[in-house]
Amino acid sequence: MVAPPWVGLPTDSTPLGHHRFAVAGEKYVHALAVAAGATPVLLPSLQPPLPAAHWLDRLDGLLLTGAVSNIEPHHYGGAPTWPGNRHDPARDANALSLLQAALERDMPVLAICRGFQEVNVVLGGTLHARVHAVPGLADHREDPAAPVEQQYAPAHAVQLTGGGWLAAWAGADRVKVNSVHGQGIDRLATGLRVEARADDGLVEAARSDAHTFVLGVQWHPEWRVTDHPFHHRIFQAFGDACRRYSCKADRS
């Protein structure tokens, strides 16, 4: 029996009480285990970050999760931040360095929400810090007062690119997705191919032309993944890519 691939999840550095904790949402861990068939490995975010090779030498894939924090704008040449905008410098340092090293190895990467934005930034793209403040773009944020089931319910449609991975996995050219983000893609990085757009034109998913499996989505396919065949297929494809990587990786 082939062992499940090991997939790393860079964690958030979150204050709880008097101390900071390395945190990852259980919904991502669950989706990796049940839909991707992978063994999740939580990677603590420290400053300075631990050398990426220490982890990547033993991993078969990288899952970049969403988070309550936003990437600090100096990473993409953005305007100064504003009071109340939540940041996580340790997550930035850890995830961005791990991602750069994973891309150099052609390691499979699935990137969700903040993770998609991290991919775009590492590859040279830029972000809208506040999508809702950009003329012509919709408000993609959830209602913070709503129950979580309503926050993660389908919120708007996206147009899937014909001939793309997502269109093939969905068996359709349009699907409805949840929408739980304030930042979004501004200039898409060179080398990323659009996989989905919202009706307001915002890029909602993209994959890399230069790598075997690097896919970013702005919505949250991990949410109740077993209830949604399309989202389950995204994680299954990522797990398959990690298994292929594991078979060819040289860990001697």
Reported as a single tens digit per residue, the pLDDT across 103-122 is: 999 999 999 999 999 999 99
Write out pLDDT tens, residues 71-92.
999 999 999 998 989 999 999 9
Which residues are CB-contacts of 26 (< 8 A; sequence separation ≥ 6)? none
pLDDT of residue 104: 97
Instruction: Report which of 212, 218, 221 is spatially closest to residue 240, judged by C-alpha positions.
Output: 212
For the question of residue 72 being annotated catalytic, the response is no
Instruction: Report which of 87, 90, 82 is spatially closest to residue 72, judged by C-alpha positions.
Output: 87
Options 128, 140, 211, 220, the catalytic residue: 220
Residue 245 has pLDDT above 90, yes or no: yes
Options 142, 211, 222, 232, the catalytic residue: 222
For the question of residue 87 being annotated catalytic, the response is no
For the question of residue 113 being annotated catalytic, the response is yes
Mean pLDDT, range 36-54, rounded to an integer? 92
Between residues 49 and 130, the one the model is more confident about: 130
